[in-house]
């Protein structure tokens, strides 16, 4: 069983890598579509979402298969459960990339609204959190996972700042309300991307800590 089990887990890791690669690509493309008002990049994001949905279903099926065939316990069980949950978060990040790309399509038909908000900084921070949360998973790196969780506060703060900018913008140019509210939505979508990265990081922490608790030297009375 052990060799087969390790093979299956490696397959699962490859599948999560494929999914996360796709999700990162989609998010990057969505962000660039906003920055460059690139309609065709945005449309590409919309078209490619189905591949992520398929990956998500495949990962879940693989997890269920491993659980049913190998009935793992302890660390192995916790790893599979973490992957199941992280799979979900990745798929939602993919959906948020679609939501962001949709805003590009709306924005492209509207006159430009200017804010002094640093969108690229927020986008980069959120993308980095996604990347690091996945690295933390694959390397089982609890310190990196903790750093991701801390970064979430910064993105929340950026979102609040965006919100203030948007309100000021609307007061100054009420006829630009459409474009400004689309920008607000994009900021919120990025904030939710960061939330999902934080979920992933917390699952990694929980998985590793659960392991530590389980392995503590004192015997437990139950």
Residues in touch with a copy of itself (CB under 8 A): 63-64, 67-68, 71, 73-74, 77-78, 81, 84-85, 88, 163, 166-167, 170-171, 174-175, 177-178, 181, 184, 188
How far is it, in rounded angstroms, from Cα 151 to Cα 194? Answer: 8
Give the residue with the Cβ less far from a copy of itself, 124 or 177: 177
Q: How far is the CB of 60 from a copy of itself (least distance, A)?
A: 8
Give the residue with the Cβ less far from a copy of itself, 63 or 186: 63
Considering only CA atoms, which of 59, 170, 41, 33 is closest in space to residue 114?
Answer: 170
Q: How far is the CB of 40 from a copy of itself (least distance, A)?
A: 25
Q: What is the DSSP letter of 217?
A: S
Give the residue with the Cβ less far from a copy of itself, 41 or 87: 87
How far is it, in rounded angstroms, from Cα 73 to Cα 1? Answer: 13
Give the residue with the Cβ less far from a copy of itself, 77 or 128: 77
Residue 99 tokens, joined: 């939501």
Q: How far is the CB of 209 from a copy of itself (least distance, A)?
A: 12
Give the residue with the Cβ less far from a copy of itself, 137 or 184: 184
Q: How far is the CB of 158 from a copy of itself (least distance, A)?
A: 17
Give the residue with the Cβ less far from a copy of itself, 86 or 123: 86
Residue 142 tokens, joined: 């609890």
Q: How many CA atoms lie within 13 A of 160 on its CB side?
A: 6
Q: Say if residues 137 and 82 touch (Cβ distance below 8 Å).
A: yes
Query: What kind and span of H or E run contains 179?
Result: helix 177-214
Buried b (16+ CB within 10 A) or exposed e, 33-58: bbeeebeebbebbbebbeebeebbee
Q: How far is the CB of 75 from a copy of itself (least distance, A)?
A: 11
DSSP H stretches of helix in 109-141:
119-139
How far is it, in rounded angstroms, from Cα 50 to Cα 171? Answer: 40
Q: How far is the CB of 46 from a copy of itself (least distance, A)?
A: 16
Q: Say if residues 96 and 29 touch (Cβ distance below 8 Å).
A: no
Give the residue with the Cβ less far from a copy of itself, 41 or 162: 162
Q: How far is the CB of 123 from a copy of itself (least distance, A)?
A: 20
């Amino acid at each position: 069983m052990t060799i087969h089990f390790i093979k299956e887990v490696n397959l699962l890791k490859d599948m999560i890598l494929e999914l996360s690669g796709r999700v990162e690509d989609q998010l990057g493309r969505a962000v660039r579509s906003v920055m460059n008002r690139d309609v065709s990049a945005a449309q590409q994001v919309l078209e490619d979402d189905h591949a992520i949905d398929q990956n998500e279903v495949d990962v879940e099926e693989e997890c269920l298969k491993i659980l049913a065939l190998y009935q793992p316990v302890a660390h192995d069980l916790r790893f599979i459960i973490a992957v199941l949950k992280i799979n979900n978060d990745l798929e939602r990040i993919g959906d948020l990339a679609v939501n962001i790309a949709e805003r590009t399509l709306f924005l492209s038909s509207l006159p430009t609204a200017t804010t002094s908000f640093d969108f690229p900084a927020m986008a980069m921070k959120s993308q980095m959190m996604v990347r690091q949360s996945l690295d933390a998973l694959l390397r089982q790196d609890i310190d990196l996972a903790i750093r991701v969780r801390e970064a979430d506060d910064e993105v929340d703060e950026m979102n609040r700042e965006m919100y203030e900018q948007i309100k000021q913008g609307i007061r100054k140019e009420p006829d630009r309300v459409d474009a400004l509210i689309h920008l607000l939505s994009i900021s919120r979508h990025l904030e939710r991307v960061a939330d999902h990265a934080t979920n992933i990081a917390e699952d990694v922490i929980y998985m590793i800590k659960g392991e530590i608790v389980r392995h503590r030297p004192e015997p437990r009375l139950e």
